Every structure is written in structure tokens, then in C-alpha cells.
Amino acid sequence: MSIRTDGIEPTIRRSDLALDATLRGDLRESPRVGPRDREEPQQIGRYRVLRRLGAGGMGVVYAAYDTELDRKIAVKLVRPEASEVGREARLLREARAMARLSHANVIQVYDVGTLGDQVFVAMEFVDGQTLIAWLGARRRRLRAILSVFRQAAAGLSAAHEVGLVHRDFKPENVMVTRDGRVLVLDFGLARQSSGTVKEIDEGDIPATEPRDVDALDETAISRESMDLALTRTGALLGTPAYMAPEQHLGRAADARSDQFSLCVALWEALYGERPFAGETYAQLAMAVIHGERREPTARRVPRWVREVVERGLAIEPRERWPSMDALRHELAHDTVVRRRRFLGTLAIIGLATTGGVALSRLDAPAAPCQDSADQIARVWGDTARESVGAVFHHSERPFAAASWRRVVQILDRYAAGWATAHDDACAATHLRHEQSGELLDLRMSCLDRRRADLSALVERLQGADDGMIMHAVEAAANLPPVLGCDDITALTARVPPPEDLAVRERVREVQRS
């Protein structure tokens, strides 16, 4: 099943308000670079500055080199505002909380500190594109969209578990890496993210705190501002297009507010338009507060998916899903799972009605599409993990332990992605009957190559010397992406396209021009 995304508003597609260029892994100079009102630093802590990548009203972002761990990173310098007492301390607390959070779907914060009167945050350098760009690049299947949002939900859930609430979740704050990993950015720090914040004059929003509906008049905020994170006297209101009702009413945001924002973004990904409309801030806020969703023009979305998303968009927080994990769990109940449940129910009925005849079927062959996890575990399972881990643990290099943690995260994620892709390829032919046997062979051949790539890397890591350990994270991150094995156009091309997904997309752009 394909979901069209070409109905997404042009202003959404073209949005460059998303993210600091450095977090996109984009080495081009950001168009939002501001005046260099300070001397450019050459060194930030132990990080040697390579170049300035972007700037905004709240800070400057640099590409930098970590001299101890021999890796490229992103460093954000956030300028504290003198008018807000305690802001620097709060920034440090939030950044340190993020540094303690290690999850495959959350951008890794390596370090936090101060440089004079500025807070700096050293972060993972990401090679990928924003979710909004990923959605706009080409048609995305329902399964792919749900997979991306499940990963984003997993990242949000991990943050919620340590007491962090995003408050400004939107597609521009989500990255999809070259290998298909999804990363959520700027927990807590979203309130200071450069380039995405517009300082709204007091005349642009209601003068009183909007704590009840009557306070929301027809004050006009431009349509473009709906995509911006709005602040007033230093306090984040959020991005109106994705804000929960309680945020529009000036109430405290919590994990359920993030759930609402994620469901707005998911609705947008599925239908090509957001669930709530308004030409002014007041119109939009009223639609959100009253739950006045517009009926989508695209209807090729399963009812169960819509019902899951609609509950996440409930006006009252208590009526939404109990947690982000609960929402993620529901989004995992796709049609294959439901069909298996249905068949399981029929089997139980059969046992009850046919007795011994049904019992005799216990010796029947196992259902197809159930051995993916076992296959990949033979390459990267407990045994391989222990043997590679022993090599890293016995290394005397100071960075070995940190590198090992990242390698495990990357390879675990790669193996899980392989198993999911293998299950889907099999199910498409044998369960959903939507794919030919020839196409199944192409996808399986691609997956066999990916498994061989993983196996070769594991073998190298099992005999790794200090040099290999130093570059292990890079080697793991550069494994050919499993995501490419789902690219039907590429698999059926007469001349196989490049393995690198970014290069592949550029080739397609040239072909279309």
C-alpha cells in the first residue's frame, strides 16, 4: 500500500526552519548565519573547531573535531540571555540530562560545559535528512511511515522515562539517517534552538495569558508562523501547528503533549495535510482546543491506523494513550499482525469444533516468515556480541568503552532492521499476496548481501586491533543500509543504482531533470 505525500503544502516542504545545518550533517553554510558579533573560537573544551556551520538568535553551531576520540562532532554554543535569571543553569541541567540519555532514537549528547558566558553542547554529527525532507523525497509506504514514527515514539518514550519532555516535537526536529535510523533532536533544548524560534511582539498575540478559550481573539499571526516555535519574554509557547490543546491554553506540557504533537505529525505524513487548520493563530488554536479536525482528502489509510492516531489527538490528555510506549505498541499492530491474530482465532475455533482432527495439525509445517530473527542472530547474537565485547573490554585505549557502547547500539539496530525487512519481504509474498515471487527473490538477495556485510564486519571486530577499535563506530555506521532492500525501483533497475541512498537520490534527481 502506498501513501501519497505529494499533497503536503509547499510551505511545509520548503521549510528550512527545521534544524541547525550541523545536525543534518550538512556541510554547506547555513542561510541563517548571523553576524559574527564575537570572535570565532578555535577551541571549545577539548573540541577543535573546524568551521562555523550555522547561527541564529540563540546560538552558533560548529563542526568540530574531538581530539580524544578521533571523531567529527557538532558543537552548539547557546548564548544565555542576561534578562532571564538562571537560564544558564537550566540549560546545563537539561543538557546534562540529555547526556545521560543513551538511546538509538535520540541524538547522542556527548558533553556539556561552558565557554565564558556561553553554554556548549557537544553532540553526535548526523548524516541524514529531516523527516519532512524524507517524506517529500518520494512516495512512502504506510509500513515505512509507521516504522519511522514508531522509532520517533521510542526516542520520546526514552526521554520521558528520565523526566524530559520535548515540548516542541515536529518533523523538523526528527532526522532519518542514511541507514534508516530515526533520531529525535533537542529535548528541552528546543526552547533555545537557533533558527526555529521567532520572537513574537506583544502585539502579535493576546496580551493576557491564554488560559481559557475566551482569551483567544482573532489576533493575526501569519500563516508562515504556524511552523515556527514561538516565544514570549523567553518562554516557549511551542510550534502552533503541532501544539497540544493544553499548550495553546498556557498550561504545563507533559509527556501526553508530546504524544499529541507526534500524532499531528503522523496525520500529516499519512494524509499530506495537518488535522487542524486556521489562517490565524486564534483560528488554529480554537480548532485544536475544540478538536475540530478537517476531513482528509486522501482516504487510503486503514481505519485502524486512523483510530490509533485519533486517540492520540484527544482534547483531554487523560483520554489519549496512557503513554508513548502504548501508542508505539498500537502502531506496531499492523495488518500482518492482525491477520495472524485472525488466523489464530480461527485455529482456536477449529480446535473447539473439530477436536482430534485439529490436534493432528500440530505436526503441520511452521508458518512462513517466522525465522528472520534466528537468521540474523546467527551473525549478530549473544555469542558474537560477547566475543566482540571481550576485544573492546581488553583494550587499553581510553575510548574503547564508549566506542563499544555505540557499536552495540548501531549493530543491534542494524540486525533488528534486517529482521524487520526480512519479515516484510516474506509477508508481502506469502501473507499479503501483493508481491511476486521474482520480486521476493530480489529483496531476499539484497538482504543476503546485507547480512554478509554485517558478518564480515563482525569478523573484523572479533580480531580488532587498536586501530580498528578507533574506527569501529565509523565502520558500523557505514554498513550498507538495509532500507535499500525495500526500494523496488532500485531492485528492478537494469543498472543497479549506487548503494549509498543519498547518492541514489541525487541520481534520480538528475534523471528527472
H helix or E strand, kind and range, residue 400 = helix 400-430
| Beta strands at 235-238 and 174-177: parallel, antiparallel or unpaired | unpaired
H/E run at residue 132: helix 131-137
Which residues are CB-neighbours of 512 under 8 A, at least 6 positions away?
none
CA distances from 163 to 44, 188, 243 (A): 29, 10, 19
Could you tell me where the beta strands, DSSP code E, fall in 274-416?
none
Provide the grid cell at 445. Answer: 538477495
Contact 227, 135 (CB under 8 A): no
Cα–Cα distance, 497 to 491 (Å, whole number): 8
Other CB atoms within a 10 A radius of the CB of residue 239 amount to 27
CA distances from 88 to 61, 77, 282, 406 (A): 17, 12, 33, 29
Question: Residue 497: CB partners within 8 Å, gap ≥ 6?
Answer: 487, 490, 504, 507, 508
* DSSP code for 106: B
CA-angle at 175, arms to 171 and 180, nearest 5°: 120
Query: For the chain, how big is the Rg over CA atoms in Å?
Result: 24
Yes or no: say if 206 and 217 are a contact pair by the CB < 8 Å rule: yes
Is residue 120 within 8 A of residue 77, CB to CB? The reply is yes
How many residues belong to the chain?
513
Q: How far apart are CA 49 and CA 40, in angstroms?
A: 9
DSSP state of 135: H
Burial classification of residue 109, based on how many CB atoms lie within 10 Å of its CB (0-12 exposed, 13-18 middle, 19 or more buried): buried
Measured distance CA(82)–CA(212) in Å, rounded: 31
Query: How far is 75 from 43, CA to CA, in rounded Å?
Result: 11
Active site residue 168: yes
Task: Select which of 168, 227, 258, 424 is catalytic.
Answer: 168
C-alpha cell at 8: 503536503
Report, as residue numbers or ranges, the catalytic residues: 168
